[in-house]
Structure 1
Amino acid sequence: MAETTGEGPEGAPFFNKDRIKNSPEEEAKLERKHFWRIIDAFRLYRVNVQEQVKRAERQFLSLPKHHQDLLPDVLSNLARISQCADHNQDIMQAIIHNSLHMFENIEYGEREDPRKLRPSSTFDMDKLKSTIKQFVRDWSETGRKERETCYKPIIQEIQKIFPSDQCDVSKVSVLIPGAGLGRLAWEIARLGYICQGNEWSFFMLFSSNFVLNRCENVNSLTLYPWIHQFSNNKKSSDQTRPITFPDVNPQSLPLDADFSMVAGDFVEVYRDPDSWDCVATCFFIDTAHNVIEYVETIWKILKPGGVWINLGPLLYHFENMADELSVELSYEDIRTAIVNYGFHIEVEKESVQTTYTENDHSMLRYIYDCVFFVARKPADVYCNGREEEDDHLQSTPPAAKSPRREGTDTMT
């Protein structure tokens, strides 16, 4: 949708979350323009990396000759980076090859001038390079440790709440907003649960469509995800280190598996009340302009007695972005809002240390000290986040038991 800035009613500022309502035709035009912008980023990936390489070559060749002579391998390593970019470009082309028809209800048609590629912004190219690292996290053996710390606690909690020996898991519905390349949702579906991943980013949607629907042979494809990192390399070879994917066959789900991916903005797509048994969010809630809007949506779509499982930090995506609505709340504030809305927190762990698309050979690593919690929507009658009072029935719902606060050691 078109975005606006300026002054709102009574002098209140408009931010990009406050959007002009356009005609369906204008909406379709804007969506098509965005679609092709992302396609162009994939197509121009190699050009962007080659520009980086050429710049590095120029910088090196500007050194005094006797300094260059002390570094005999620099130019050959840069040539290797360029070769790796060529290979990555082949994967980028494969990803977008079937993208025109990947959505069931939308056709983006042909671009106005297929011969003209629009230059990609630094923002879009950074997004694409970040997406390449998502293949490491979700679909490579290298990312196994990261998945163990991020995904396994969520999966174990789902199995604990909905055990296969006590309920028909094929009737338990689990929603994964911000599903990325789909590995967490895929793992849950593999266990027999109904699972749907939701994703908004075209970068992620194109890539997840490729790996989930076009990749069958285990470790048959190669990417070089670290060639964009020119700093903090212990060895030159670390920069051109490959990963293979997928580490499993994504199409090996049981024939009766109920697994799907849905494109769109979480708060706009999911509006049907009392629809899901479980909503699981992993590194997701800080993508909100307004986290409370996520809390509100999750409350609405959960069935009575349903659970919200969350793991992640609070690295707000829109912080310090001009004209973007962004309310940066502490976990303490968010927890208060969750409880005030009516959720009962059953499990809470305030120190789960993990990484995100980590380069385990880098001299610089980020460790996220994440919050993990399970919050239940009460199973009894409620209204607008408050239980309706009944003088004749004062029983305590199972969800209202004391929170289970676990230790601070990392879950694996």
Structure 2
Amino acid sequence: MRFLQPATWLVAGLACGAIAESEADVGRAVDEKVGNAIKDGVGEDKILASMPVHSLVEIHEVTVTLEDIPQKPSPRHEQEKKNLLKRMSKSHGKWDTNHPRSRLLDALFGYSRYKPRHMAELDRWRGLYKHVSKAQKKVLENTIGYSQKFETAEQLLDFNQALCDEIVDTALEYYGISHQEFAGHSKAKDEAKQLADRVSVSQALKHYVRDWSTSGRSERDDAFPCILGTLQTLYPERSTDVKVLLPGAGIGRLGHEVAALGGFGVTVNEWSMFMNLAYRFLEAHPGVGGKALHPFVDSWSHHATTADMFRGVSFPDVPVNASSVLLVEGDFVSAFKAEKGLYDSVVTHFFIDTARNVMSYFDTIHALLKTGGYWVNFGPLLWGTGPFVQLSLDEIVAIAKSMGFEFVDVWEECGEVTIPGEKVRGKRAVYGFNDKALTRNSYEAQCWVARKVR
């Protein structure tokens, strides 16, 4: 493999061992560290994962060369970036907290304060530990070295912060934001005592696991085969690009899987700047296994072992060909107003229930599809906070039919028929990020294919 310039990295063994090509390699590296610790005389009566990081992790300075060269942007990518930077200009539209540049700066602020925001919670846990009696602490310390978990967690937060700093640097360059402007925004936030968004950053980072790691494969396999198989069935002949739009795409793996089928011109859309920054980082660093994080250090519940909680995950698990997929940032309802009747298919994956007004989503899907085009849906009906409308499945079917959609047969891979007499199927789908967790968050995701007939 090659790199434009050799890169010298400080690599944590708990995260990568060496530069791992998948988190399977990361896991093996952890096991080897633990095994070596036992051989070196660490008492077997201690939980090794809760010991100090230096006893589990060797820090290596490794010079590596990686195939981490971003694809040259296509003309449509270059044009969309020009459009994006125009929308990002302060002079474009009303300047307020909903302006895309303001939301971008807020997301940058969130990533830059990843560790401080999580340290506040870690320090709270440290404080709560002080309420444990001396006798109980003696058991905890002698048996599992409990207090060392705090030290280990803090060092892994440092590791994650380094990744977040890379994401920020990549975004500043991509969006043309000066360090001075970003520093001014951060200072204003601090002076106003406005905290950085901890949850959105954490969720975006965990999407690296779900979308772009081997650990996330089982969750992807709950949904992707149904969607990909459906598209291949609908469009068996693809001599010219079939135009597909995927709104609410997160950090884009499904769009890339559609593009990999060949013959599809794929556009993805995402409103969250936290997700978009994570995706732009992938575009800039497409090499397999080139990056890693510790995604579960921020939550201490539902872990079988402390090693699971502290484990590192590398990403991406496959090369990221950014030139095969176009990301259009912004609100789905307004971002595509000039593209009515342009798309052969709109794929909504874990998306429609995120709407404040789901009727606007339906109107937009209908408007963007060509006559004869297909709406492919896979996802739950978990309505969010303050939705204008909350619909049951049978109501959605009735409304879609009234708008000019005709439901067609759905591939059996997509589950069992949900409503007798209707062409909608339901399939269990996990959405939880952590394949080793002692809990499972799953849905009976609903899949349908609806053809626009008028």
**Shorter-normalised TM-score: what interval?**
0.7 to 0.9
**Shift of residue 360 of structure 1?**
2.3
The answer as to whether partners of 2:304 and 2:437 remain within 8 angstroms in 1 is: yes
| Match for residue 163 of structure 2 among 55, 72, 91 | 91
**Shift of residue 26 of structure 1?**
6.3
Greater RCO (Cα-Cα under 8 Å, separation 6 or more): 2
**2:353 and 2:117 mapped to 1: Cα distance?**
29
Structure 1 residue aligned with 2:276:
205
Measured against aligned partners, the alpha-carbon deviations of 1:369-399 in whole angstroms (never above 9, x if no partner) come to: 1100100012xxx4xxxxxxxxxxxxxxxxx
Structure 2 residue aligned with 1:246:
316
* Structure 1 residue 40 corresponds to structure 2 residue 109: yes
Instruction: Check 1:115–1:228 CA distance in 2 against 1; reply closer, same or farther (3 A cut).
Output: closer
TM-score, normalised by the number of residues in structure 1: 0.78
| Match for residue 341 of structure 1 among 380, 392, 403 | 403
* Structure 1 residue 188 corresponds to structure 2 residue 255: no
The answer as to whether partners of 2:407 and 2:451 remain within 8 angstroms in 1 is: yes
Measured against aligned partners, the alpha-carbon deviations of 1:14-63 in whole angstroms (never above 9, x if no partner) come to: xxxxxxxxx96662454233322221111111011122222212211221
Structure 2 residue aligned with 1:76:
148
The answer as to whether partners of 1:176 and 1:280 remain within 8 angstroms in 2 is: yes
Structure 1 residue aligned with 2:329:
263
**2:434 and 2:287 mapped to 1: Cα distance?**
25
**1:36 and 1:115 mapped to 2: Cα distance?**
8
Structure 1 residue aligned with 2:381:
314
Higher helix share: 2
**1:202 and 1:111 mapped to 2: Cα distance?**
15
Structure 2 residue aligned with 1:66:
135
Structure 2 residue aligned with 1:290:
357
* Structure 1 runs not aligned, ≥5 long: 1-22, 320-324, 383-412
Q: Secondary structure at the match of 1:57?
A: helix
Instruction: Check 1:38–1:110 CA distance in 2 against 1; reply closer, same or farther (3 A cut).
Output: same
Task: Write out aligned runs for 1:327-406 (5 A).
Answer: 327-346=389-408, 347=410, 348-378=423-453, 382=454
Aligned-residue RMSD, C-alpha? 2.4
The answer as to whether partners of 1:292 and 1:337 remain within 8 angstroms in 2 is: no
| Match for residue 176 of structure 1 among 231, 238, 246 | 246
Q: Secondary structure at the match of 1:310?
A: strand
Instruction: Check 1:305–1:209 CA distance in 2 against 1; reply closer, same or farther (3 A cut).
Output: same
Identity of aligned residues (%): 30
**1:117 and 1:123 mapped to 2: Cα distance?**
12
* Structure 2 runs not aligned, ≥5 long: 1-89, 411-422
The answer as to whether partners of 2:308 and 2:436 remain within 8 angstroms in 1 is: yes
**Shift of residue 113 of structure 1?**
2.2
**1:329 and 1:167 mapped to 2: Cα distance?**
35
Amino acid at match of 2:155: Q
* Structure 1 residue 130 corresponds to structure 2 residue 199: no
The answer as to whether partners of 2:276 and 2:329 remain within 8 angstroms in 1 is: yes
The answer as to whether partners of 1:100 and 1:109 remain within 8 angstroms in 2 is: no
301-310 vs 29-38, greater mean Cα deviation: 29-38
Q: Secondary structure at the match of 1:281?
A: strand
Task: Write out aligned runs for 1:100-111 (5 A).
Answer: 100-103=172-175, 110-111=181-182
